[in-house]
């Protein structure tokens, strides 16, 4: 089975060794499964949509995992572009007979946020929009029977766990990638056959 993972820095694995990225961990653990990481740091959902035909359809995968939208929120303060682009990618997948599933991007951990990200990724509006986007992704998945990997579920609840999970308040550490991998694999292995 071939799976393309289309995304931004959360998929690419910003700040960690290539071998420690959740897609690499999953690739080593899932024998007989080729996992292709097509994450680009800083990409928006609109950017992902623009490269969909080349990066996804051109690879002829059996499945595509799509996760993006955080940068749309950071740069525009809105979720509308992320929603429309993500929906378009899901329906393009179906058009190409590629089975889609989607991911919910991680929340921002503001106490651990690096200074270079504070102008874009901090504040009540960002928190609110990320939460609204998560709710929309979960509703979208349920409505169209598209599996959703809710990465919020693997984020620790306590501050010491959060400090270990994040590198800079946005991007996961190696520990964060291990948790993401475990949840992603669990979701994938429990997908219904249809």
Q: How far apart are CA 45 and CA 70, in angstroms?
A: 8
What pTM did the predictor assign? 0.96
Q: According to the model, what pLDDT value does residue 180 have? A: 98
Residue 194 has pLDDT above 80, yes or no: no
* For range 34-47, the mean pLDDT: 97
- Mean pLDDT, the chain, as a whole number? 96
**Cβ neighbours of residue 114 closer than 8 Å, sequence gap 6 or more:** 168, 169, 170
- Whole-Å CA distances, 134 to 26, 82, 194: 23, 11, 25
* For range 169-187, the mean pLDDT: 97
Helix spans in the chain (H): 9-12, 22-29, 45-50, 52-55, 70-76, 80-95, 118-121, 124-144, 159-165, 174-189
Greatest C-alpha distance within the chain: 46
List, for residues 67-115, the tens digit of each pLDDT value.
999 999 999 989 999 999 999 999 999 999 999 999 999 999 999 999 9
Q: According to the model, what pLDDT value does residue 193 have? A: 74
Q: With H, G, I as helix, E, B as strand and everything else as coil, classify residue 14.
A: coil
Residue 40 has pLDDT above 80, yes or no: yes
For the stretch 130-166, what's the b/e string if a residue is b when 16 or more beta carbons lie within 10 angstroms of its beta carbon? beebbebbeebbeeeebbbbbbeebbbeeeeebebbb
Instruction: HSE, CB side, 13 Å, CA atoms: give it for residue 87.
Output: 15
List, for residues 149-164, the tens digit of each pLDDT value.
999 999 999 988 999 9
Q: How far apart are CA 180 and CA 188, in angstroms?
A: 12
Q: How far apart are CA 25 and CA 9, in angstroms?
A: 16
**Cβ neighbours of residue 135 closer than 8 Å, sequence gap 6 or more:** none
Instruction: Return the ∠ at Cα 73 (arms to 135 and 47), rounded to 5°.
Output: 105
CA dihedral (136, 142, 146, 148) positive or negative: positive
């Amino acid at each position: 089975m071939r799976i393309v993972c289309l995304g931004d820095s959360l998929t690419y694995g910003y700040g960690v060794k290539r071998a420690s990225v959740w897609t690499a961990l999953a690739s080593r653990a899932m024998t007989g499964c080729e996992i292709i990481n097509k994450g680009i740091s800083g990409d928006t959902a609109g950017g992902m949509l623009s490269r969909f035909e080349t990066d996804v359809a051109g690879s002829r995968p059996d499945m595509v995992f799509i996760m993006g939208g955080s940068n749309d929120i950071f740069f525009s303060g809105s979720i509308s572009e992320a929603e429309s682009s993500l929906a378009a990618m899901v329906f393009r997948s179906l058009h190409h007979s590629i089975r889609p599933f989607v991911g919910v991007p991680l929340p921002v951990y503001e106490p651990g946020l690096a200074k270079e990200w504070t102008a874009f990724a901090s504040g009540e509006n960002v928190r609110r929009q990320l939460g609204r986007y998560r709710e929309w992704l979960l509703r979208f998945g349920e409505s169209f029977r598209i599996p959703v990997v809710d990465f919020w579920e693997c984020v620790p609840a306590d501050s010491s766990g959060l400090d270990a999970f994040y590198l800079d308040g946005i991007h996961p550490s190696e520990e964060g990638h291990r948790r993401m991998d475990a949840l992603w694999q669990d979701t994938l292995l429990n997908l219904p056959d249809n």
